[in-house]
Amino acid sequence: MTANKVLLVDGMALLFRGFFATSFRGNFMYNSKGVPTNGVYQFLRYLTDAIQTFGPSHVVCCWDMGSKTFRTEMYDGYKANRDAPPVELIPQFDLVKEIVQSFDIPNIGLENFEADDCMGTLANIYNPENEVFILSGDQDLLQLVKENIRVIIMRKGQGNYEVFDKDNFYEKKALSPAQIIDLKGLMGDSSDNYPGVKGIGEKTALKLLQEFETIDGLVENIERLPKGIQSKLQADMDMLYLSRQLAEIKCDVPISCDLEGSRWDFKEDKVITELDKLEWKHLDRLLAPLKNKPSVSF
């Protein structure tokens, strides 16, 4: 077991999750300047709980840098089904990064790429010599699982995690991590708004990949498939391969983050000085998990 344990945090996933978890009753936690802070507050609850649970030696937070990326250039319908963020969330985008910075956690993002691509790139930079944990609610990231890279999926309720690694992956998903990309290529992704092959759902896609392993293997053996499946693939062949491209996380994004600069070294006074600007009560409760020993060991 290597000494370093690097936690890569999907910042936008935690912020959106935190915002909607706390705002469904209209509780936006405005400060005296009229700035809503509920998403940032719950983001920190998620972050501090994960740090206490998994005990990283290093932490990096990755962010989307706008809605336009190389994927929207490939397919203009990509994520086009998503509504604009609520007005109460917009000022919290910059605010949350300032709070993250007060913890001396690097904020990493690059225009034209998604946070997923940044996490995939950093995970593959770090993993030869370090244990990497990726924290998100996004199952697209499961394709990154391999030696020394685990993906932590946040389930409903705070502190409820499912950890995927190379040893338990097939048992949980009945596929290899790399096959997640082909699964998305076949069935599409309604959340990201790309269709895959019309008429092929998850159950059929899973069965096809278990037999033929990859999309290329499937196409090479298309004559062995039932006529209905053949027709669906032939009708949507271009979209099949485009959907696969959209699903694949890029792991060669031109970014870097010096590992030493991401060492977890919580300075309570510095953080409280920044959090005081948000006028929250009971900061001791919010930061309490950081003073406890990790509850999970790997």
Q: Quick check: is 291 in a domain?
A: no
- pLDDT over 90 at 130, yes or no: yes
Q: Tens digit of pLDDT for each residue in 154-188?
A: 998 788 999 999 999 999 999 999 999 999 999 99
Q: 263: Cβ–Cβ under 8 A, 6 or more apart, which residues?
A: 57, 58
Number of domains in the chain: 2
The string of DSSP letters for 148-191 reads TEEEEEE-SSTT-EEEE-TTTHHHHHSS-TTHHHHHHHHH-BTT
CA 145 to CA 9: how far, in whole Å?
Answer: 15
Confidence of residue 2 (pLDDT cuts 50, 70, 90): low
**Best CA proximity match to 137, nearest among 172, 105, 164, 168:** 164
What residues make up the domain containing 267? Answer: 5-173+252-282
CA 147 to CA 127: how far, in whole Å?
Answer: 8
Residues 121 and 263 in one domain: yes
What does the block give as tokens for 154?
């946040």
Residues 53 and 82 in one domain: yes
Mean pLDDT of 66-91: 94
Q: Quick check: is 297 in a domain?
A: no
Residues 52 and 163 in one domain: yes
Mean pLDDT of 51-67: 96
Mean pLDDT of 110-130: 97
Q: Quick check: is 9 in a domain?
A: yes
Side-chain-facing half-sphere of 17: CA atoms under 13 Å: 20
Mean pLDDT of 26-53: 95
Mean pLDDT of 229-255: 97
Residues 271 and 227 in one domain: no
CATH number for the domain spanning 154: value is 3.40.50.1010
Residues 31 and 163 in one domain: yes
3-state secondary structure of 108: strand
Q: Quick check: is 134 in a domain?
A: yes
Residues 58 and 113 in one domain: yes
Residues 218 and 78 in one domain: no
Residues 84 and 232 in one domain: no
Q: Tens digit of pLDDT for each residue in 193-206?
A: 999 999 999 999 99
Q: Quick check: is 290 in a domain?
A: no
Mean pLDDT over the full length of the chain: 95
3-state secondary structure of 107: strand
pTM for the whole structure: 0.95
Mean pLDDT of 196-221: 96
pLDDT at 1: 47
Whether residue 99 contacts residue 274, with contact meaning beta carbons closer than 8 Å, is answered with yes
CATH number for the domain spanning 231: value is 1.10.150.20
Residues 86 and 40 in one domain: yes
